């Protein structure tokens, strides 16, 4: 005869009758109910009891889990209150990472958001006139001062700026674009689809690698409503190429009586070459070249919140502001406050490296990053031993978000290699890093997990979690 099951003999398994009633569990967890309210705690308690009851009926519920019910319920409630959107450590080597929130806001922008979002504000109220105002008026003067534009407006992102510009200026008409500029950005956002959504008929000119002024001239008809230039910031065609710049296109557009619009995509407001970075076309230069409308992003290289900035002539921007679609795409008060604060930083360019996180990270010296890697090496190696080895390595960061795709920034970091040489072990390490209270996001390359330290300005955010990482890997 088989010996009776030990767990049954010693009563270590709980039966359904051992589970408390919902009301009793809630009374036992009165402080939790006081903190979070009856609705949430009761909902989590009910779900928890249902699950435990099913296991108890099957004889698979340890008595210890019943005894720990109050603690388990508290854990469940706290988990429900954790935000899905969390701060992470970006150690991928991509500074402006689309999936990780792109540009970091400056302290001035954060302070402005905090000050204005917790209080009524004059978003659409003219303080001088004591009457309703236009939110664009709060920022138009600043944008015009920084870019030299006659007029300006803003919408919720640059894709919206392009869509709105084309719709307002070329709806029901033709819009001419070079074939080499029919780009696709993240999320399958394609220029031909934008044209269609805006109600304009796309007219392609030139070839993928070569477009000439005569191509635009020959495409002009009485039905032409707009000439569009697109800065190909997320890819480059090299070799036997030719394109037409804005200065050459402007007189062609002016002679035909149609506006010229250029989309700079990531956009920058200062000459990046002054900081040792590759130069990007500036809105100021495009307007000086004769463009009627210039669109660019508020985040990415500008270093602010997600927004679409539209600057240009009074006539063209006026048509855009009056177009019905504008209200649906307008910028809300939170990013509006952050954008204004960010733009004001450009009024004192000598302080940009100090004040603007994006520019500060992009220009961080490699030797400074390498020194940090050397300091962190012993602590990280201790946390992941004996399953992984760690070494300092020279790395190549990238700007990111489609900006300057082939340019690299000399950087440094840590390379973690699995002692057993298995890819699954490395994936487990990556999972453990993402499971920390402040998730750490690196990248796996050539059988190593790389932690690029270019974007790590507060090392304590990493080192304070190494004990938890060691426990997770044990």
Confidence of residue 73 (pLDDT cuts 50, 70, 90): very high
Angle at 186 between CA 346 and CA 165, to 5 degrees: 60
Query: Does the pLDDT of residue 267 top 90, yes or no?
Result: no
| DSSP states along 387-432 | TEEEEEEEEEEB-BTTBSTT--EEEEEEEEEETT--HHHHHHHHHH
Query: Does the pLDDT of residue 236 top 80, yes or no?
Result: no
| DSSP states along 27-85 | HHTHHHHHHH-HHHHHHHHHHHHHHHHHHHHTT--BHHHHHTHHHHHHHHHHHHTS-SS
Closest by CA to 399, choosing from 88, 98, 156, is 98
- Please give the pLDDT value at position 1: 41
Closest by CA to 325, choosing from 147, 214, 206, 198, is 198
For residue 18, the SS3 value is helix
Query: Does the pLDDT of residue 101 top 70, yes or no?
Result: yes
| Sign of the Cα pseudo-torsion (215, 218, 220, 221, in order) | negative
C-beta of residue 293 within 8 angstroms of C-beta of residue 261: yes
Closest by CA to 233, choosing from 272, 266, 208, 209, is 266
Alpha carbons 60 and 42: distance in angstroms, whole number: 24
- Please give the pLDDT value at position 233: 61
Alpha carbons 450 and 413: distance in angstroms, whole number: 7
Closest by CA to 313, choosing from 267, 262, 265, 264, is 262
Alpha carbons 470 and 474: distance in angstroms, whole number: 6
For residue 339, the SS3 value is helix
- Please give the pLDDT value at position 8: 44
- Please give the pLDDT value at position 4: 43
Closest by CA to 180, choosing from 238, 219, 224, 246, is 238
Alpha carbons 440 and 168: distance in angstroms, whole number: 44
- The residue-averaged pLDDT of 225-249 equals 81
Alpha carbons 402 and 442: distance in angstroms, whole number: 19
Q: How many CA atoms lie within 13 A of 240 on its CB side?
A: 1
C-beta of residue 279 within 8 angstroms of C-beta of residue 272: yes
- The residue-averaged pLDDT of 53-60 equals 94
How confident is the model over 271-294, as pLDDT tens digits? 999 999 988 899 999 999 999 999
- Please give the pLDDT value at position 188: 62
- The residue-averaged pLDDT of 196-203 equals 94
Percentage of the chain beyond pLDDT 90 is 84
- Please give the pLDDT value at position 333: 95
Confidence of residue 6 (pLDDT cuts 50, 70, 90): very low
Tell me whether residue 65 is exposed, middle or buried, using C-beta atoms within 10 angstroms of its C-beta: 0 to 12, 13 to 18, 19 or more: middle
Query: Does the pLDDT of residue 223 top 60, yes or no?
Result: yes
Q: How many CA atoms lie within 13 A of 437 on its CB side?
A: 8
Percentage of the chain beyond pLDDT 70 is 94
Query: Does the pLDDT of residue 403 top 60, yes or no?
Result: no
- Please give the pLDDT value at position 7: 40
How confident is the model over 123-173, as pLDDT tens digits? 999 999 999 999 999 999 999 999 999 999 999 999 999 999 999 999 999
Alpha carbons 277 and 363: distance in angstroms, whole number: 8
- The residue-averaged pLDDT of 409-437 equals 94
- Please give the pLDDT value at position 335: 96
Confidence of residue 408 (pLDDT cuts 50, 70, 90): confident
Ordered by where they begin, the domains of the chain are 12-80 (no CATH), 89-97+363-473 (3.90.1150.180), 107-350 (3.40.640.10)
Confidence of residue 187 (pLDDT cuts 50, 70, 90): low
Read off the DSSP letter of residue 94.
B
For residue 456, the SS3 value is coil
Query: Does the pLDDT of residue 95 top 80, yes or no?
Result: yes
How confident is the model over 427-449, as pLDDT tens digits? 999 999 999 999 999 999 999 99
Confidence of residue 66 (pLDDT cuts 50, 70, 90): very high
Alpha carbons 291 and 315: distance in angstroms, whole number: 12
Alpha carbons 452 and 185: distance in angstroms, whole number: 25
């Amino acid at each position: 005869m088989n010996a009776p099951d030990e767990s049954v003999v010693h009563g270590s398994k709980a039966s359904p009758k051992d589970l408390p009633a919902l009301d009793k569990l809630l009374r036992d967890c009165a402080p939790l109910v006081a903190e979070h309210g009856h609705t949430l705690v009761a909902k989590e308690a009910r779900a928890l009891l249902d699950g435990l009851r099913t296991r108890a009926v099957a004889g698979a519920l340890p008595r210890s889990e019943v005894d720990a019910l109050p603690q388990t319920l508290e854990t469940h409630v706290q988990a429900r209150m954790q935000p899905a959107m969390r701060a992470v450590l970006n150690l991928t080597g991509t500074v402006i990472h689309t999936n990780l929130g792109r540009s970091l806001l400056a302290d001035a922008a954060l302070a402005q958001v905090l000050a204005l979002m917790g209080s009524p504000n004059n978003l659409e109220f003219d303080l001088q006139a004591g009457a309703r105002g236009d939110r664009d008026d709060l920022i138009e003067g600043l944008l015009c001062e920084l870019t030299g534009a006659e007029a300006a407006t803003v919408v919720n992102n640059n894709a919206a700026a392009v869509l709105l510009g084309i719709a307002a200026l070329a709806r029901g008409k033709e819009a001419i674009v070079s074939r080499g500029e029919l780009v696709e950005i993240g999320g399958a956002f394609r220029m031909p689809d934008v044209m269609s959504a805006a109600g304009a008929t796309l007219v392609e000119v030139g070839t993928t690698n070569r477009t000439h002024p005569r191509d635009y001239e020959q495409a002009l008809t009485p039905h032409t409503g707009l000439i569009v230039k697109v800065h190909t910031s997320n890819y480059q065609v090299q070799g036997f190429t030719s394109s037409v710049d804005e200065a050459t296109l402007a007189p062609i557009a002016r002679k035909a009586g149609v506006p010229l619009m250029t989309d700079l995509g990531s956009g920058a407001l200062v000459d990046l070459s002054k900081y040792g970075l590759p130069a990007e076309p500036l809105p100021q230069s495009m307007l000086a070249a004769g463009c009627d409308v210039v669109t660019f992003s508020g985040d990415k290289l500008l270093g602010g919140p997600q927004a679409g900035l539209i600057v240009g002539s009074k006539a063209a921007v006026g048509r855009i502001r009056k177009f019905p679609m504008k209200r649906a795409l307008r910028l809300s008060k939170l990013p509006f406050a952050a954008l204004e604060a960010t733009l004001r930083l450009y009024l004192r360019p000598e302080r940009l490296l100090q004040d603007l996180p994006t520019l500060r990270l992009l220009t961080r010296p490699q030797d400074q990053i390498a020194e940090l890697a050397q300091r962190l090496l012993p602590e990280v190696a201790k946390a992941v031993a004996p399953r992984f080895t760690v070494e300092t390595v020279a790395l190549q960061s990238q700007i990111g978000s489609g900006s300057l795709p082939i340019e690299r920034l000399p950087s440094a970091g840590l390379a973690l290699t699995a002692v057993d040489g298995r890819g699954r072990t490395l994936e487990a390490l990556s999972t453990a890093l993402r499971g920390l209270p402040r998730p750490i996001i690196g990248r796996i390359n050539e059988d190593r997990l790389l932690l690029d330290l270019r974007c790590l300005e507060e090392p304590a955010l990493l080192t304070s979690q190494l004990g938890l990482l060691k426990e997770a890997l044990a």
